[in-house]
Amino acid sequence: MTTDTDLEAEIQRLLTEHDRIAEQGITVQRRDHLIVLGGEVESAQRRDEICKQISTHFPDVQITCDIGITRAQAPSEVEEIS
Amino acid sequence: MIRIAAVGDVHVDKDVVGRYRPALEELPDQADALLVAGDLTRHGTPEEARCFAKEFGGLAVPVVVVLGNHDHQSDQQEQVTEVLTDAGITVLEGAATVLEIRGHRLGIAGTKGFGGGFAGACASNFGEREMKDFVGTTERFATVLENALNSVECDALVALTHYAPVPETLVGEPLEIYAFLGSYQLGRAIDAAPTALALHGHAHHGSERGRTPGGVPVRNVAHPVIKQAYNVYQLLSDEVDATLATAR
């Protein structure tokens, strides 16, 4: 049985080790009875898969997804290294 | 003047193909080379490597990469390297390459690197076999980086790793995992050569800027940190010739 203390760790491991996710950059924070997910991923499909897998593996956990999609536009500035 | 573009942790798979390409097509107007600091793929499969090659290959500038921990997940790093190399992408692991750019020699030495921690909170080569293997791996990667950095003669030398060489660029990550994000030994290797710039990824929640104890600028170019397709860094600015500066 997963205890409250272990829950965040269990979710972190699921996000890293699940074949369809493999994300190490997602933050998992508990707020009262809610788990808030943060960070950024490369596509909307990846974000949706994260939420789907957490809901499947932890059906009693209420999650809020604040995961963003990392922007991929060209830069407008150059940094001079000295 | 040399301009290099850099990004890391792009984690390409089928769902990402096409996202970067519009920005990458602008590269010839922005930079002379593109460096990618590991985690090119999600699981390190040849199929994902082909997706990376499709997205990041065939550009009008040279592309130089190191692999990251994700690229080792399927234990197929050799096949991944072969796919990338066949696509014209230079893959560095304990090796260096020199690019001739408008009369200047840009040296790039690269390795994946490994964890181990930093001053005051680092692992030691002592105790259980597993711990000695862990730290021994760190030492091995640091040694090959130092040797690679010192193997080239060039006008500007860049160190390219996946793991971080300094803790400053990890600020924002939980302190408890610093030892899994980088090692001071990589920083020491960078300081043992005339390195002009060190680039790394891996730390998605880290910070962009730092310096080694020896003063070498360090940039964390993990995609979630820089929040754009790539950053552009200008080296050898003192030697700039006005006619060359506008060449691109």
Tokens of B197: 């710039």
Kindly write down the DSSP assignment for every residue of A45-70, as one continuous string. HHHHHHHHHHHHH-TT-EEEE-PEEP
In this complex, is the C-beta atom of B72 within 8 Å of any C-beta atom belonging to chain A?
A: no
Q: What is the pLDDT of residue B238?
A: 67
Q: What are the chain A neighbours of B45 within 8 Å (beta carbons)?
A: none
CB pair distance less than 8 Å for B42 and A39: no
Distance CA B48, CA B68 (A): 13
Domain tally, chain B = 1
Q: What are the chain A neighbours of B23 within 8 Å (beta carbons)?
A: 72-74
User: What CATH code is carried by the domain that includes residue B186?
Assistant: 3.60.21.10
Give chain A's mean pLDDT: 91
Domain A4-69: CATH architecture, name and number where available: 2-Layer Sandwich (3.30)
With a cut of 50, which residues of chain B have pLDDT below it? 240-248
- Tokens 């979710």, residue? A11
CB pair distance less than 8 Å for A81 and B196: yes
Question: B46: how many CB neighbours lie within 10 A of its CB?
Answer: 18
Q: What is the pLDDT of residues B39-72, one digit of tens each?
A: 999 999 999 999 999 999 999 999 999 999 999 9
Distance CA B169, CA B224 (A): 13
Q: What are the chain A neighbours of B11 within 8 Å (beta carbons)?
A: 22, 42
| C-beta contacts of A27-34 below 8 A and 24+ residues apart | A27/B205, A30/A4, A33/A62, A34/A62, A34/A63, A34/A64
List, as ranges, residues 115-134 from B with C-beta within 8 Å of A: none
Closest CA to B245 of B109, B102, B132: B102
Q: What are the chain A neighbours of B17 within 8 Å (beta carbons)?
A: none
Q: Which domain holds residue B74?
A: 2-245
Tokens of B104: 């200047």
Closest-CA residue of B relative to A24 is B204
Q: What is the pLDDT of residue A32?
A: 80
pLDDT at A5 over 80: no
Among the partner-chain residues B16, B205, B234, the one whose CB lies closest to the CB of A80 is: B234
Q: What is the pLDDT of residues A14-56, one digit of tens each?
A: 999 998 899 999 999 988 889 999 999 999 999 999 999 999 9
